[in-house]
Amino acid sequence: MDPSQPGGQQPPDQPQQQGGPQPQPHPAPAAPPPYPGPHPHPAAPHPAAPHQHPHPAYQPHHQFPGYPVPPPPPPAPSVNGLAIASLVTGIVCCLPPLGLVFGTIAIRQIRKKGQRGLGMAFTGTILSAVSTVLVVIMFATGAAGSLWDGFEKGMDEASRNRSAMDLRKGDCLDLPGGGGLEDAEVLTVQTVDCAERHDAEITGIFQITGFEEYPGESRVEALAEERCEKINRKYALDPWDIPAEAELYYYVPLRESWAFGDREVVCTLAVSDKDGLTGSLRTDVAALDRHQTAYLTAESQADSASNDVPVEEYSDDRAAYRAWAREASAVFAAQARALRDHDWPAKAEKTMAKRAKEFDAVALDWDKAADAKGEDAFWTHVAAADGPLENDGTEVEVRKALGLRSTPPPEGDSQV
């Protein structure tokens, strides 16, 4: 049958073909006939999508008439939420009876609603049942109490352990290695209540500045020694309250930690004997009234000036010793004025006037030392300046009037 002839009739001059339709030679394939249907005209090809070119040998697809589009597949059943909760509760052993309840309810809901998660529900139920039995056994045998005690102790120790770079002024701590004051690299220390026995108390913290590169261990330690001495004096203004065995101790940054930005120096007062310290050594403005602070500050300033001895020998640097003497004279004179100008309580006025006079005499002796012609004369005037300070009588009277410790420390005690 020639699809190009209407009605499908074969021309009479063509012989009848046997065995079905035979291919006809044509110079080019003709367009296929329209699909059977009620359309009176040949179907036009479906327009191509923008920027698309259909292959020339194929026509766009058309839905055959009479065949509807098949419906989408039904949605997959949801996972039961209680099954998930039961599994999680059973794995982490958190409230095992609750996981058992979740699992039982989940199994019923899954079978009724056709949901997924039956395996999770069974697993959670079994794990929760086992955990429940173990909990019952632990409480029956007392193991739960021991476990809780151990957990509580561990949490307490963890809360006490602090990074060496996360300490604060006023913290009391135990030194690593059993309380020895030998040099050691530490990452963490254990803080304790200052009312309890401890090895050290932090008096202050400062940052090393002015160096891009690590300045070296000796330089870092020299800076720490100098600054921590001053910090300790401000923190413990009353040297009579410092035990004889207390020493200056500090933590400094290492070369390795310096590379990560560590510049912090932690200053402490520490002891190395087994008795340690009990109670805080803090006697600064936070722990004293204004009269006690004014008096102890004057004494501390004067004591620092007296002990600021130059590093070199007198014969090697006479100018430094003369400068020291003049500075000490100025400090004592200034503190004498401060003692006279303060509005002391009535019971302390006379003894304070007496102490101010002693400071004036000391200032005069230091002034004479600064003008001394030779080394012997210099040290003679320095010894004279120490005379009034070695007499504790006036100081005891002042301390009693101000409510400070009035028992002098034993002879030879170190006062940091």
Burial 188-216 (b: 16+ CB within 10 A, else e): ebebbebeeebbbbbbbbbebeeeeebee
The DSSP output letter for 179 is S
How confident is the model at residue 319, as a pLDDT? Answer: 94
> What percent of the chain has pLDDT above 90?
41
Own/partner contacts of 21-28, CB < 8 Å, gap of 24 or more, are: none
What is the per-residue pLDDT across 22-80, written as a single tens digit (0 to 9) for each?
545 545 455 555 544 444 444 444 444 444 444 444 444 444 455 565 666 667 678 77
What distance in Å separates the CA atoms of residue 318 and residue 365, rounded to the nearest whole number? 17
What is the per-residue pLDDT across 245-266, written as a single tens digit (0 to 9) for each?
899 999 899 998 899 899 999 9
Compare 77 and 181 and report the one with higher pLDDT. Answer: 77
pLDDT category at 225 given cuts 50, 70, 90 is: very high
Compute the residue count for the chain: 416
Question: At which residue do the structure tokens 């500045």 appear?
Answer: 209
What distance in Å separates the CA atoms of residue 277 and residue 269, rounded to the nearest whole number? 10
- What mean pLDDT is predicted for residues 8-26? 47
Q: Cα-flanking dihedrals φ and ψ of residue 354, to 5°?
A: -65, -40
Position 27, amino acid: P
Whether the pLDDT of residue 345 is over 80: the answer is yes
What distance in Å separates the CA atoms of residue 217 and residue 223, rounded to the nearest whole number? 10
Name every residue whose Cβ is closer than 8 Å to that of residue 206 and which is 6 or more positions away in sequence: 227, 231, 264, 265, 267
User: Global pTM?
Assistant: 0.56
Contact 387, 364 (CB under 8 A): no
Start-to-end Cα distance in the chain: 123
How confident is the model at residue 68, as a pLDDT? Answer: 60
Evaluate the CA torsion angle 388, 394, 396, 399 in order and state its sign: negative
Considering 50-59, 263-272, 308-317, 362-371, the range whose residues carry the highest mean pLDDT is 362-371
How confident is the model at residue 69, as a pLDDT? Answer: 58
Compare 379 and 49 and report the one with higher pLDDT. Answer: 379
Whether the pLDDT of residue 240 is over 70: the answer is yes
Contact 268, 284 (CB under 8 A): no
